[in-house]
Amino acid sequence: MATPQIQSVPSLWARLQEKSIEQLHIRLESIVVLVGLAAIMAILSPFFLSVSNFMNILLATSTIGVLAIAATFVLSSGGLDLSIGSVLGLSGVVGAAFAVNLGMPTPIAVLATIGAGALAGLVNGWVITRGFVPAFIVTLGMLGIARGLALVISDGRVIYGLPDWMLFLGQGRPFGIPMPVIILIIVAIIMHIVLAYTRYGRHTLAIGDNENAARTAGINVEFHRLTLYTLSGGLAGLAGLLFATRINSGDPTAGITYELTAITAAIIGGTNLFGGRGSILGTMIGAMIMGVLQNGLNLLAVQSYYQQMAIGCVLVLAVFIDQFQQRQETKV
């Protein structure tokens, strides 16, 4: 019996999407959302479209951006790191304590800041891969431990007065561009290359995709995971450095709920919550979306309590849309 053949010609959108994902590792929807959101904000607030506000957005995005890179690596490997916000706070306090209380020179204080984060991440990774405790539990525990430790080290007080060279990292403006923005861009480019084009990055995605396949291919899955959590902690430490040097102090309460924003940014950027897919360029778009959203709500004088709610809603909505699309694709 002859049934009419339905020729499915991929739409222009589908073809663009495929190119975009293959070449840039970005999902087109996220760009559309970013542009649409910016357009709405520009209509609602006359201050939105200005060079100085643009710099503000980038500056505010820099800390979250670095954390979101950490979240992307861990999520796309099928893991989860809930401790990055707390580790950010701990690192900032450690760095400030080294520089102010101990009077250490800037390079050592900087290394201590990032090192404290990496160490917390190493502990996470060690317990997860050697103790076989689920990442959710280990990093949730670290969320509490790192925050508590930050309060213990600082005695619950903000440590003020960082040395000038450290301040340059947070407040310097070479060529009129804030240093944290420059650092974020450099880190993002490097980490994009690592995730998309190196064996380390490809293995990260493969582990998140099918751990067993990675293992049969000869990849040392446990060791790889250990390095990923250490990397995540180290990036949280870098974010702590950017945050502390921007506000000129080690604040033990810095970064509370930042893991929420960072994970949201990674997921709207196209990272698969269950692993196997992720891109740093996509995550940067996601971080910009979060930055524009927060900046716009600030300009519209929306109370920060509501902003928390907005971010939570965006996270659930982003995962809902992703799951919805996947169900559409696999529907029988």
Partner 1 sequence: MSLLDLSGIEKSFGSVSVLHGVDLTVGAGEVIGLVGDNGAGKSTLMKIVTGMYQADRGSITLEGDNILELTPGERRARGIEMIYQDLALAKQQDVASNIFLGREPTRRVLGMSLVDRRKMKLDAQKMIDRLGAKLPAITRPVGSFSGGQQQSVAIARALTFNPKIVIMDEPTAALAVREVQSVLDLIRQLKSQGIGVILISHRLNDVLSVTDRIIVLRQGRAAANLLTKETTMPDIVSAIVGGGDVMVAAAHEAQG
Site residues for partner 1 per CB under 8 A: 22, 193, 197-199, 202-203, 205-206, 209-210, 212-220, 272, 276-277
The residue among 172 and 215 lying less far from partner 1, judged by its C-beta, is 215
Q: How far is the CB of 27 from partner 1 (least distance, A)?
A: 14
Contact at 8 Å (CB) between 92 and 250?
Answer: yes
Contact at 8 Å (CB) between 67 and 129?
Answer: no
Q: How far is the CB of 191 from partner 1 (least distance, A)?
A: 12
Collapsed DSSP state (helix, strand, coil) of residue 274: coil
The residue among 123 and 219 lying less far from partner 1, judged by its C-beta, is 219
The residue among 129 and 295 lying less far from partner 1, judged by its C-beta, is 129
Q: How far is the CB of 243 from partner 1 (least distance, A)?
A: 29
- Measured CA to CA, the distance from residue 208 to residue 103 in angstroms comes to 43
Q: How far is the CB of 296 from partner 1 (least distance, A)?
A: 34
Q: Write the DSSP assignment of 87-137 as a string of letters.
A: HHHHHHHHHHIIIIIS---HHHHHHHHHHHHHHHHHHHHHHHHHH---HHH
The residue among 246 and 277 lying less far from partner 1, judged by its C-beta, is 277
The residue among 59 and 206 lying less far from partner 1, judged by its C-beta, is 206
- Measured CA to CA, the distance from residue 271 to residue 262 in angstroms comes to 12
The residue among 103 and 218 lying less far from partner 1, judged by its C-beta, is 218
Q: Residue 103: CB partners within 8 Å, gap ≥ 6?
A: none
The number of beta carbons lying within 10 Å of the beta carbon of residue 325 is: 12
The residue among 147 and 203 lying less far from partner 1, judged by its C-beta, is 203
Q: How far is the CB of 286 from partner 1 (least distance, A)?
A: 19
Collapsed DSSP state (helix, strand, coil) of residue 80: coil
The residue among 252 and 282 lying less far from partner 1, judged by its C-beta, is 282
Task: Give the pair of three-digit tokens for residue 308.
Answer: 């928390």
- Measured CA to CA, the distance from residue 178 to residue 176 in angstroms comes to 6
Q: How far is the CB of 63 from partner 1 (least distance, A)?
A: 27
Task: Give the pair of three-digit tokens for residue 214.
Answer: 């990675």
Contact at 8 Å (CB) between 146 and 120?
Answer: yes
Instruction: Find, among 201, 68, 79, the residue nearest to 129 by Cα.
Output: 79
Instruction: Find, among 16, 77, 67, 78, the residue nearest to 254 by Cα.
Output: 67
Q: How far is the CB of 43 from partner 1 (least distance, A)?
A: 38
Task: Report residue 257 CA to chain centroid gap.
Answer: 12
Q: How far is the CB of 312 from partner 1 (least distance, A)?
A: 27
Contact at 8 Å (CB) between 229 and 74?
Answer: yes
